[in-house]
Amino acid sequence: MSSVLVTGSSDGIGAETARALVALGHRVVLHARNGERADDARAAVPGADGVLVADLASLAEVRAMGGSAGAFDVVVHNAGVGGGAAERSETVDGIERILAVNVLAPYVLTALMPVPRRLVYLTSGLESQGRADLDDLQSTRGPWDGMQAYSDSKLWDVVLALAVARLQPGTVSNAVDPGWIRTRMGGPGATDDLADGAETQVWLATSDEPAATASGRYLKRRRELRAHPAAYDTAVQDGLLAACAELTGVRLTPR
């Protein structure tokens, strides 16, 4: 039995991932952004071992969670926000919201939490449309384009997963595109159901098959795909880590 933390697990793909892991007999800890959503998480996954509460748009709350969450065998970085907002918005820390939640939060948690055996970072097929512009992480140039900011964040998630795989060779670190899933974020017109969206993460978290224990990959439906070329560039990886460290005050070091 493994201990697993699934961020953003009060509904959608995160809750489905947690339910599947509980059904397999694993100890699962959920995460929600506030007390109300924590209640939703407990209701969605009644067999879970507990719920961590932290608003991932707040660096203070993310740092507190990273410092107090404890050790897990597996961490699934599922939490994220979409790009549907009509206007650019900033967090209480003055950081563009999509970047803060989708990229900086998993970065800080990875840097501060005890090193797990396996890490899974959720991305999107839109990572292929992301811009690897380290000089504009916060999308300040030109008119606001929420979907472009989202695509950029999903590319950065792949970059982060591959950077961690390189710097923490004792940890199996991979990025997963769950597909277009019928969730609140994906919408009713999405092509795939929740079970499809969670299946690869559950497999990576639990299987001892050689294909599930290889690190530094971008996967969909258990198959390795070729990500945006920038994801494999170690200079881009190091640049992202340096930029994240500057924005958060937290440094991810090789371990």
For 93, residues 6+ apart whose C-beta sits below 8 A from its C-beta are 58, 59, 100
Catalytic residue list contains 220? no
Q: Identify the active-site residue in 107, 121, 150, 218.
A: 150
Residue 69: what are its φ and ψ, rounded to 5°? -65, -30
Nearest to 77 by CA among 44, 45, 111: 111
Total residues belonging to the chain: 255
Residue 207, C-beta contacts closer than 8 angstroms, at least 6 positions apart: 213
Q: Is the dihedral of CA 174, 213, 199, 20 positive or negative?
A: negative
Please identify which of the residues 107, 154, 218, 232 carries the catalytic annotation.
154
Active site residue 107: no
Q: CA 174, CA 201: separation in Å to the nearest integer?
A: 9
Rounded to whole angstroms, how far apart are CA atoms 255 and 115?
A: 8
List helix spans (H) across the chain.
12-23, 35-44, 59-68, 97-99, 105-112, 146-167, 194-206, 234-248
Q: Provide the annotated active-site residues.
A: 150, 154
